[in-house]
Amino acid sequence: MKLDPFYLIVDHVDWLRRLLPCGVKLVQLRVKEADQGDLRAQIAEARDLCRKFGAQLIVNDYWRLALELGCDFVHLGQEDLAIADLPAIRRGGLKLGLSTHDEAELATALAAEPDYIALGPVFPTLLKKMPWAPQGLEKIGLWKSKIGGLPLVAIGGLTPERAIEALRAGAQSAAVVTDITLNADPEARARHWVAATRSFV
């Protein structure tokens, strides 16, 4: 499976209205606080927007809604993986991405036979406090050797310059949140990311 090298993660569908026209082709909708009705509406709109702009949508956590709304990709963290119904996810045809931070989590993730593995944080990150130290570029190469042909997503503290380093180190895709959403001009920053990563498509 091939992933776009620029992997945008946003917390509200509003971001997709703004940033998909900038050339984004791979996006995760990671909504953390919303009631069921709002969540359903956001996922449905994100699905439609991504279809319109030819982008791949990955729904974070809410695999039941992803199935119900006809999405085709879900991303789970380790805690969500532990309680998810993997057979139902597979029967529904959902592709699966999984987060990993250490060797034990990688073993758990590989046992679930995902469609990609994410490793983070590669660099120090502003997004949330984590119990894991920055993994560094060397860990990307190690993880890639362990997962074989599965795509590897690098996440955590990435800028376009750091993303290029991560992609050269063995990641197929570089995921970003705050470098775009906290930027004074998110649209211009997204276009910069698209241009900077095109040679890795």
Q: What is the C-alpha separation between 125 and 177, in angstroms, rounded?
A: 10
Nearest residue to 71 via CA among 92, 88, 52, 87:
92
Nearest residue to 109 via CA among 120, 97, 94, 93:
97
Alpha-helix residue ranges (DSSP H) falling in the chain: 13-19, 36-53, 63-68, 78-83, 86-91, 103-111, 137-147, 160-169, 178-181, 186-197
Strands 73-76 and 56-60: parallel
Q: What is the C-alpha separation between 71 and 64, in angstroms, rounded?
A: 10
Catalytic pick among 32, 128, 145, 199: 128
99 is catalytic: yes
The tokens for 190 are: 């997204």
Catalytic pick among 25, 99, 162, 173: 99
Q: Which amino acid is at 80?
A: D
Evaluate whether 111 touches 78 at the Cβ level (below 8 Å): no
32 is catalytic: no
Residue 188: CB atoms within 10 A of its CB come to 12
Q: Which residues are catalytic?
A: 30, 99, 128
